[in-house]
Structure 1
Amino acid sequence: MKNLFKIFTATAILMATFSSCKKDLNLKPTNDITSDVAYSTPAGYKQVLAKVYGSFATTGGGGSGSSDLGGIDAGTSDFIRLYWNAQELTTDEGLCVWNDPGVYDLNYQTYTSDNILLRGLYTRSLYQITVINEFLRESTPAKLASRNITGADAANIAVYVAEARFLRAYQYWVLMDLFGNPPFITENNLIGTTAPQQIKRADLFKYVESELLAIDPILLTSNEYGRATKAAEWMLLSRLYLNASVYTGTDRNTDAITYASKVIAGGFSLHSAYKNLFLADNNINNPETILSINYDGTLTQNYGGTTFIVNASINGDMKPATFGVPNGGWGGIRTRSTLPAMFGISGAFTSNPDSRAMFYGDKSVNDAVAVFTDGLRAIKFRNVNQAGVAAPSIGGTFCSIDFPLFRLPEAYLNYAEAVLRGGGGGSMGQALTYVNLLRQRAYGNSSGNVTSLTLDNILTERAKEFFWEGYRRTDLVRFGKFTDGSYLWPFKGGVAAGRGIDATRSIFPLPSADLIANPNLTQNPGY
């Protein structure tokens, strides 16, 4: 079992559960548990914080068939499933065979403002921000004093507040990165009074940065498993600064190096075996993962998250039991040929000196999008422990693999890329050392070491290290290759050989339903 605050501490007193998202940020509690009851004790505050974290790993309070969101199937409304689709299916890494609404638009980069999967991600992020805002409204010094919560209890709740602000900053980063100019509201806005105002991308960058810097003195250096720490905040700052030129037009590579270096000096180390980072017991003896979204195959049943990644990556012919899901195997997602080609693989997969090459199949070429076996399957995530024993799973389908949001290698590669982009405070020698540490683990020795670096090297290394972890679209946008015709992959732009598309599509459209509901919003260019 993956802690998850002891699986949300009995659903976290339901946290004054919110209704389905119809007006996104203007949500009101609908259950009978009032805030004065839910927040009446220090223990209650921690239980509600557990629900804040839990909203990242569940779709709703009623199990696998429930959803906090309206207008989208519960099974597809999990944050990681939606985020994964947006970050992977639109790139040179992943393809999906399913003809579900919105899928092929992502495969082909032909998405519109009516794409249901993008709308679901947008709404999920706003929903989680709404939940956090409500928690923050109930956690002010005045509210604590009115409830006679003082001393050490109040100090603990101040840490909870910092963690909640981190999670909100993360979700605003997601919206800024994918949608550019989203609606914006904080705990200081009254619920239901006016429609949220729109914030420009560059201004949202400043807000996220200021929030992360403000909570730095309050966040703990170490915390319970699955909770935010200073290192998670530093990692998000490094990511923010590395992409600053995309968000604001001004590079912040020196700052990216500064915060990557803080993470590197923060006591983390590489796991000895790369493959063990994506198994069902990756919460045990894992010195590398900085923050994860935690799943449990018996207590957090959800058709998204790592349950989705494992089952969609295999079919019945691949012996699902060996992946820890004896009744699973949905046959949905596999690689575009460009991903295995980065490992030097074309045709069938046999073996590879780079241990990160975890694929299955005998055909890497993508002749037909709708054929699951047209492309190697990525089998990086497995619902088994290091001994190969399947994790407990209700129905033989649900998975207990925690999904890493931040790992130490990101700090290494951020550092190296920022040095190559001219950032100060680092060195090329140190950048080379960091890259080779990853390659030495991958190869098991120094045979894969490199003696020089280029930006293209870094982009390829990031694909090898982070494929199937939701990094790729952001990376390709930063490198100017997401829409550009100079870098193609199968079915880019809806053409088998690939084609360039309009640069405006590097930002997703705001959902048409929200534009209709909120007159303060203006659609992104190109849609």
Structure 2
Amino acid sequence: MKRKLKQLQKVGVLLFVVVFMVSCTDDLNIIPNDEDTLLADEAFANEAAYKQLLAGVYANLALTGTDGAGSSNIQGLDAGTSQFGRVLLYLQTLSADQMIWSYENDPGTREIQRNIWTAQNPLILGMFSRSHATIAFANNFLNETTDEKLDSRNVSAGVRAQIVNYRAEARLLRAMSYYYMMDLFGKANFVTETSGINVVPPVIERPELFTFIEEELLAIENDLIDANQNEYGRVDKGVAWMILAKMYLNSEVYIGAPNYDKCLEYCNKILTSSYTLATDYKHNFMADNNTNSATNEIIFPIVSDGATTQNFGPTTVMINGSVGSLEVNGQEVGVTQGGWGGALRVRKQFADLFGGGLFSNDDRNTLITANRPIDITDISDRDTGYIIQKYSNATSTGGFGIDLTFVDTDFPLFRLADVHLMYAEAHLRGGGGTLATAVDLVNDLRTRANNPNLISAGDLTLDFILDERSRELHWEAHRRQDLIRFNRYTGGNYNWAWKGNGSNGISIPAHFDLYPIPNLSLSSNPNLTQNPGY
């Protein structure tokens, strides 16, 4: 199933490049790589093209081009600095208190992990541009599937019925891209399928983005497949509910108004649908997480495949990067024995969350500590600092992924465990629900992790939730957002190793709660203005 989906995504990207070039705009400089591809109207002679075109929207989350892992369909952007999942991981996790990247000559990484970035950082440009590419792809899909276009092509009734769902999925993916723009940058170039061609787009900021995303997700709900019922790797009502829940949880940050009751409402929608926790925590992060017990926990993945569509996405980076310089343990996790030579380690503050003996046998504690000091006083010294073995290219049945570099492990962008913790937090912040349910939902995660240290009502505090979110959801691209919501990111309320470029951590200014608008993006749209402080 996953191989078939990935093949469809690759075809979809190629078709999308052609249709996009012919019928839309060249503002993003998306370059087709196949001289034999057909023009837009000819492409739709085969009605299967509509699903392929939709697959192209999805594929932009995983792929950077159609000519191998190093290719890029956005001119001027390197594949390694513009893969959606990878740059999201860097901006949400590497910028916070969990992860360290050893090779600081890699473009942009030094500035991100030391919190000294500028508007010239290539990883920030990669996120800004890749998100807008998804928006453009979604808009083009919607333009190619209007009633007028379908009538002119005499599309069959059966395909037209499916296109109702397809269009809702495209709108959801577009809304998700705007969600990340709202979270990371606080503004976005705003274009929809009704925007003119080759016009300078207007720019909208957080309040308008929040309203648009909310209204869009509510408007398409009835046209989406029911929660957890769509083809693996595609969005459905559960994904829409998840984005809404996360928006409402963070709405005090985004729009200055609490919506914890709405967060809890959408958490309940997910909790009462057919999602279930994986029987084993580690199943969520293995090469067969598309077929093992994690398939009912992962609400939406970024699909990865080591053969059909190789790319340097987040799971390839984390699995190869987590192989220790001393341990040389790649064979255990299904990659080359040396991996990437100790590229990734964890910061002391994260490791401390598993200290004290309460988490010694917790399945979420995959730290490797032997013969290693906990502190990283020199980032280039790969033998210092603990390493971690959360993600793996091994399968739950004892096998391995098909390739020893490009992994088969899907990245769990949204999963049910997050909903358990969001419910508990929303309850504590006055959103309703019951304390007993909140405690049970947290204990469900501890029980699944084989941790006998269950909590009681008196243990459930906001500080506890922040720590438990890190224990459960580390390296899943949530941490920066969580720390900002808890007022622990900027300022000096909480410092971590190398925060602000200090080995023990120092305060960073409040404007770092948002990333800067990339200089190249500013130069391409006169309506864009730089975020304050940059």
Shared fold (TM-score greater than 0.5)?
yes
Change (3 A) 1:10 1:276: closer
1:298 aligns with 2:307: yes
Asked whether the equivalents of residues 16 and 29 of structure 1 are also in contact (C-alpha less than 8 Å), the reply is no
Give the ranges of 4+ consecutive aligned residues of structure 1 lying more than 6 Å apart after TM superposition.
Answer: none
1:342 aligns with 2:348: no
Task: Give the aligned partner of residue 179 of structure 2.
Answer: 173
Change (3 A) 1:13 1:131: closer
1:17 aligns with 2:17: yes
Asked whether the equivalents of residues 7 and 299 of structure 1 are also in contact (C-alpha less than 8 Å), the reply is yes
Asked whether the equivalents of residues 13 and 44 of structure 1 are also in contact (C-alpha less than 8 Å), the reply is no
TM-aligned CA deviation for residue 190 of structure 1: 2.4
Match 2:412 to one of 399, 404, 413: 404
TM-aligned CA deviation for residue 16 of structure 1: 3.8
Which whole-Å CA distance do the structure 2 matches of 1:381 and 1:218 have between them?
A: 34
Question: CA-to-partner distance for each residue in 1:6-48, whole Å, 9 max, x for gaps?
Answer: 522661372241699xx99655775652221223343110111
TM-aligned CA deviation for residue 336 of structure 1: 0.5
Gaps of 5+ in 1: none
Asked whether the equivalents of residues 80 and 304 of structure 1 are also in contact (C-alpha less than 8 Å), the reply is yes
Match 2:316 to one of 290, 295, 307: 307
| One-letter amino acid matched to 1:408 | L
1:141 aligns with 2:141: no
Match 1:323 to one of 333, 358, 382: 333
Which whole-Å CA distance do the structure 2 matches of 1:511 and 1:176 have between them?
A: 15
TM-aligned CA deviation for residue 142 of structure 1: 1.4
| One-letter amino acid matched to 2:394 | V
| One-letter amino acid matched to 1:110 | I
Which whole-Å CA distance do the structure 2 matches of 1:253 and 1:461 have between them?
A: 19
1:113 aligns with 2:119: yes
Task: Give the aligned partner of residue 258 of structure 1.
Answer: 265
Asked whether the equivalents of residues 41 and 149 of structure 1 are also in contact (C-alpha less than 8 Å), the reply is no
Which whole-Å CA distance do the structure 1 matches of 2:162 and 2:421 have between them?
A: 34
| One-letter amino acid matched to 1:288 | E
Asked whether the equivalents of residues 159 and 220 of structure 1 are also in contact (C-alpha less than 8 Å), the reply is yes
Change (3 A) 1:25 1:219: farther
TM score, norm. by length of structure 2: 0.93
Please provide the CA RMSD for this pair. 2.1
Comparing 119-128 with 24-33, which one deviates more in the overlay? Answer: 24-33
Asked whether the equivalents of residues 6 and 309 of structure 2 are also in contact (C-alpha less than 8 Å), the reply is no
Match 1:486 to one of 481, 493, 500: 493
Which whole-Å CA distance do the structure 1 matches of 2:423 and 2:472 have between them?
A: 15
TM-aligned CA deviation for residue 524 of structure 1: 0.4
Task: Give the aligned partner of residue 448 of structure 1.
Answer: 454
Task: Give the aligned partner of residue 62 of structure 1.
Answer: 67
Task: Give the aligned partner of residue 51 of structure 1.
Answer: 56
Write out aligned runs for 1:268-287 (5 A).
268-285=275-292, 286=294, 287=296
Match 2:298 to one of 271, 286, 289: 289
Task: Give the aligned partner of residue 197 of structure 1.
Answer: 202
Question: CA-to-partner distance for each residue in 1:385-438, whole Å, 9 max, x for gaps?
Answer: 113322111xx21100011111111111111111111113x1111111111111
TM score, norm. by length of structure 1: 0.94
Asked whether the equivalents of residues 303 and 409 of structure 2 are also in contact (C-alpha less than 8 Å), the reply is yes
Question: CA-to-partner distance for each residue in 1:438-480, whole Å, 9 max, x for gaps?
Answer: 11112354x3333331111111111011001111001111111
Task: Give the aligned partner of residue 78 of structure 2.
Answer: 73
Write out aligned runs for 1:156-167 (5 A).
156-167=162-173
Secondary structure, aligned partner of 1:199:
strand
| One-letter amino acid matched to 2:365 | A
Match 2:384 to one of 352, 374, 377: 374
Identity %: 40
Secondary structure, aligned partner of 2:445:
helix
Task: Give the aligned partner of residue 470 of structure 1.
Answer: 477
Which whole-Å CA distance do the structure 2 matches of 1:478 and 1:5 have between them?
A: 36
Gaps of 5+ in 2: none
Change (3 A) 1:439 1:515: same
TM-aligned CA deviation for residue 315 of structure 1: 4.1
Question: CA-to-partner distance for each residue in 1:207-245, whole Å, 9 max, x for gaps?
Answer: 111111011001001111111111111111101110111
TM-aligned CA deviation for residue 502 of structure 1: 0.9
Match 2:442 to one of 409, 412, 435: 435
| One-letter amino acid matched to 2:454 | G
Which whole-Å CA distance do the structure 1 matches of 2:176 and 2:259 have between them?
A: 18
| One-letter amino acid matched to 1:2 | K
1:8 aligns with 2:17: no
Which whole-Å CA distance do the structure 2 matches of 1:13 and 1:397 have between them?
A: 23
